[in-house]
Amino acid sequence: MIDTHCHLFFDELYNDLNNVINEAKSSGIRYIISPSTNLETSRKNIEIAEKYPEVFVAVGIHPHDTANFNDNILIELEKLLEHSKVIAIGEVGLDYYYKFSSKEIQQVAFREQLKLAKKHKLPVIIHNREADEDLMRIFEEEVNSSLFGQFHCFNGNYEMARRVIELRSFVSFTGNITYPKNENLINILKRIEPENLLLETDSPFMSPHPFRGKTNKPSHLKIIAEKLAEIHKITFDDIVRTTNFNVYRLFKIGELPKPSFTYKIGNTLYINITNRCNASCVFCDREGYASVAGYNLRMPKSMEPPAQVFIQEIGNPKEYDEIVFCGFGEPTIRLDVVKKVAKYVKENGGRTRLNTDGHGNVINKRNILPELQGLIDSVSISLNSADPDQYSRLMQIDKSMFYEMVNFTREAKKYISEVVVTIVDLNEVNLEKAREFAEKELGVKFRAREYF
């Protein structure tokens, strides 16, 4: 695990630093990011990081400490960025709850530090308390293709989380998700995919239950990770792997995982058949990181394995709830491999699902559905939109393919016992129209998945 927010310079931790770090390591912490609050704590943090290889530093002026913010402070701050252990600017932001500094100077300091982050292509760690609108306004005014942030100790509403994530930034929650009477926060958290989360303790503050009120320590991170796994109904390993990958993306700490041919999330095993696709959906990250739940699914054609490799990795299919053909490409491009693997799964008592764009008949130049009978138990077809023009635009594909997908769906009902159509819930897509089209026109199940 990586504790992305732990203030090692505060006396509560600093006075016992060796023990704090050793305890963290033996509880499964690999790295700690220690954000600063002013120039003095930035320098102290760098000293700590020089001593402990597992510690990295964010330097910055916390909103509480901005009362005397000026250009000289900014110049001094910039000098610290040269240090190899400094990997981010933070924490910066707005705090209208305590208001130790005026709103005006807080906003100036926040904006200037965002500009500094852009200049050095560094991520920012953002603190916010009761300043949602001003904070998002300034961030959105400054954001560009190289500015990304961690909205730490998130306490905004769902709409704010969504805005943050659409800008490809991350959110993190602290021990407060373990407190009773926090349904609001939990309900927001439920709707944020782990791909957009980071782990943090915010030590020495925000101790999780049952340590509430006591000094928080990075070794408590496990409690928060376990809570996230419980809320998202996935495993502890899923949360750790996914958030570690997120840390790699944002802070460039750790390493890119090796590509996976099969990957397990919860108790489902997914088969990464191919990266090749006949469409080029605007929301697809195939050309980006091509990652899911912390797995690296990037697979050039030359690396595509034969069926036997997938079969070996599956082992006993009864150990999984389901074996799903799904990746960043269109599985029916490798129909023979899908059929061979599915046959193995069915012969050994497993359950199969195929995730497809529904263009398999065009791709293979024949009706492939009779061939899938008995091999595929469930098929999920990407509907994307009930509007052919929008469908064509979103997938960057000819409009005729919409009708191809519709015919495939109708035909699938004859051969496969469960047929579901899915859409990605983009703001521009009419969800209710899509649901009605699925249920009334196509007579199949409908599932919307949030675009995060």
CA distance 256 to 350: 31
CA distance 297 to 311: 18
Tokens of 145: 């293709």
Residue 235: CB minimum distance to Zn ion, A: 28
Residue 124: CB minimum distance to Zn ion, A: 12
Residue 147: CB minimum distance to Zn ion, A: 19
Residue 139: CB minimum distance to Zn ion, A: 15
Query: Looking at beta carbons only, is 127 or 227 nearer to Zn ion?
Result: 127
Alpha-carbon 374 to chain mean position: 35
Query: Looking at beta carbons only, is 33 or 434 nearer to Zn ion?
Result: 33
Query: Looking at beta carbons only, is 127 or 232 nearer to Zn ion?
Result: 127
Residue 34: CB minimum distance to Zn ion, A: 9
Residue 49: CB minimum distance to Zn ion, A: 16
Residues near Zn ion, by CB under 5 A:
127
**270 close to 262: Cβ distance less than 8 angstroms:** yes
CA distance 327 to 97: 45
Residue 389: CB minimum distance to Zn ion, A: 46
Amino acid at 60: G
- Count the Cβ atoms, other than its own, within 10 Å of residue 266: 15
Q: Is 357 helix (H, G, I), strand (E, B) or coil?
A: coil
Residue nearest to Zn ion (CB): 127
Bridge partners for 59 per DSSP: 89
Query: Looking at beta carbons only, is 127 or 334 nearer to Zn ion?
Result: 127
Contacts of 92 (CB under 8 A, 6+ apart): 60, 61, 62, 63, 109, 110, 113, 114, 124, 125, 126, 127
CA distance 106 to 110: 6
Query: Looking at beta carbons only, is 126 or 189 nearer to Zn ion?
Result: 126
Query: Looking at beta carbons only, is 61 or 397 nearer to Zn ion?
Result: 61
Query: Looking at beta carbons only, is 221 or 297 nearer to Zn ion?
Result: 221
Residue 206: CB minimum distance to Zn ion, A: 9
CA distance 73 to 38: 9
Query: Looking at beta carbons only, is 251 or 415 nearer to Zn ion?
Result: 251
Residue 104: CB minimum distance to Zn ion, A: 20
Q: What is the DSSP string of 83-144?
A: STTEEEEEEEEEETTT-SS-HHHHHHHHHHHHHHHHHTT--EEEEEES-HHHHHHHHHHH--
Query: Looking at beta carbons only, is 127 or 217 nearer to Zn ion?
Result: 127
Q: Is 344 helix (H, G, I), strand (E, B) or coil?
A: helix
**414 close to 369: Cβ distance less than 8 angstroms:** yes
Strand-strand pairing, 124-129 and 86-95: parallel
CA distance 384 to 421: 9
